[in-house]
Chains A and B, each alone.
Chain A
């Protein structure tokens, strides 16, 4: 079964600093990987997805992620954090069974400080 592991349940950065949220995957086949963001009391919103095309994926709000097969990683980055980036971020992998089922990681809460 496919799975993702998010390292660090809480990450704190200063405004303007680099954001790095870690995600490692486990999959026996090339995975489809996703990053979602969840603001308080809201549903999840897709930030970006990797579907085996370019290894560097650009998403919304200045975020990007790089697929590294050798490291089985798909870390999310943003060069300069903004206060509005404070939210919970989830990494997810799509099931290979063809049903579009997503398996999510446990999430990373990002705090942005002045």
Chain B
């Protein structure tokens, strides 16, 4: 089966610009996650969707970050405006619905903010 797809794989922008990342989860996976992985740190959950509803966005910097999953399948994560400290790898993961199901990760998008 196809895995979690993400695009672009790499993005370089200047601070104060905006950027968007796209994620296509594994078919049939109701739950989708966005993680931020800063160099030298473990991934940190930004937002979790169950179908098209938000389950947890407690660590999402809502003044500049937004995410949506309008049809309960694909998702986009946007940063506007970007700051230097947003440089990181943004990982998307998906899982079947339920609290004990394995999360499958995409390859990530590496963002560099200059």
- Taking Cβ atoms with an 8 Å cutoff, the residues of A that contact B are 9, 32, 36, 41-46, 49, 51, 90, 92, 94, 98-107
CB–CB A43/B41 < 8 A: no
Say what secondary structure dominates the interface of chain A.
loop
Interface size on B, residues (CB 8 A): 26
Nearest B residue to A104, CB-CB? B42
Q: How far is the CA of A36 from the CA of B43 in the complex (A)?
A: 11
- Known contacts A104-B44, A107-B41; is-contact A99 B99 (Cβ 8 Å): yes
- Known contacts A90-B43, A107-B42; is-contact A100 B98 (Cβ 8 Å): yes
Against A, the Cβ 8 Å flags (1 = close, 0 = not) of B49-86 are 00000011000000000000000000000000000000
CB–CB B48/A99 < 8 A: yes
Instruction: List residues 7-51 of chain B with CB under 8 A from any CB of chain A.
Output: 9, 31, 40-45, 48
Q: How far is the CA of A17 from the CA of B59 in the complex (A)?
A: 40
Nearest A residue to B40, CB-CB? A106
CB–CB A45/B105 < 8 A: yes
Q: How far is the CA of A45 from the CA of B105 in the complex (A)?
A: 7
User: Can you offer 17 A-B residue contacts whose CB atoms are under 8 A?
Assistant: A9-B40, A32-B100, A41-B108, A42-B108, A43-B3, A43-B108, A44-B93, A49-B102, A51-B100, A90-B43, A99-B56, A100-B31, A100-B99, A102-B43, A103-B45, A104-B42, A107-B42
